[in-house]
Amino acid sequence: MNNMGAEIHHLASNQRNPGTPYHPEWVEEIRINRSAIERRIATLASRRTVKKQWQAAWLLKAIALIDLTTLSGDDTPGRVQRLCAKARQPVRSDLLAQLGMEKANLTTGAVCVYHEMIPYAAKALDGTNIPIAAVSTGFPAGLSPLKTRLAEIRASVDAGAREIDIVISRRFVLTANWKALYDEVAAYREACGEAHLKTILATGQLGSMTKIAKASMVCMMAGADFIKTSTGMEAVNATQPVSLIMMRMIREYMRLTGFKIGFKPAGGISNAKTALQYMVLAKEELGNDWLEPDLLRFGASSLLGDIERQLEHFITGHYSAANRHPMG
């Protein structure tokens, strides 16, 4: 990966990724050393994690990184409204007071819903700066006609979504048709307009670590603001080895272009300990900027409840029942 490209650009740290022309050589030169990836990930589990007040601070930060999500076929306006209420006040007020955070205006990073639920989320989040993220492009399979997928993006943006989580056509990755993938994602980016584009790779369906790395690079070249591991509905969702590969592609893209791309692991991140490991990995591989919601998000719902339980344990020394920390 170290030989890609001849020029290192000055960092454009506060600018949105505009994408680049398609560079086939950036894709062709990617090689992944699986054993080295696995050795690197093994160090995460073996090291001592942050403790006491430092852990509490990291957990509060993790809350601000959550895309609080409901993507069920039985979603209702009431469920979305309750979820938005939790996004606005993710931790019980008594716990925040004991942590000295009652005036911190802590919220989750976003609320993620289907298109049909955007109006209810918009009403429930009125007066806040919490963005609505809408899943789009025939989520989760991505097999509807391209014209329909593009119309879906535009409709969600018009309805108030500030972020669009799209799914790529996995067949382009599986057949190594990288230019087709680039053209597809570039069309999605254009349809998003000012809304940020988060490209879901569905890594559990892509076949190899090398294909995951190449798909990551192609999506960033095409203008993705974030690359995301999974829909949360595959048999295998976010894993730390896959996340490390994607983070290193983000690092390489930044070296080549100067633009910082966000990362979103999604699916299976349901406890605070796992979230902290992903945060440590992001800090070590990419830097402190990737501990902020404009560059790191978790696609999760149950994660928030466990973080709240861990914060209560820090304060009281006891774990409470999960029903003391409901989603709404």
Active site includes 264? yes
Measured in degrees and rounded to the nearest 5, phi and psi for residue 182 equal -60, -50
How many degrees, rounded to 5, is the angle at CA 224 between CA 220 and CA 229? 85
The active-site residue out of 67, 260, 264, 306 is 264
The active-site residue out of 86, 211, 214, 228 is 228
Query: Starting from the edge strand earliest in sequence, which strands make up the sheet with 298-300, in order?
Result: 262-264, 226-228, 196-200, 163-167, 132-136, 110-113, 66-69, 298-300
Nearest to 253 by CA among 292, 213, 283: 213
Alpha carbon distances (Å) from 45 to 26, 48, 274, 282, 293: 32, 8, 10, 15, 24
Beta strands in the chain (DSSP E): 66-69, 110-113, 132-136, 163-167, 196-200, 226-228, 262-264, 298-300
Check residue 324 and report its DSSP letter. Answer: G
What is the number of alpha carbons within 13 Å of residue 125 lying toward its C-beta?
A: 29
Active site includes 165? yes
List the end-to-end C-alpha distance of the chain, in Å, as a whole number. 46
C-alpha–C-alpha distance, residues 188 and 137, integer Å: 9
Active site includes 294? no
How many degrees, rounded to 5, is the angle at CA 268 between CA 115 and CA 209? 95
Tokens of 32: 């992944």
Chain-centre distance for alpha carbon 104: 23
The active-site residue out of 165, 211, 260, 306 is 165
Counting beta carbons within 10 angstroms of the beta carbon of residue 125, is it exposed (0 to 12), middle (13 to 18) or buried (19 or more)?
A: buried
Q: Point out the residues that are catalytic.
A: 165, 228, 264
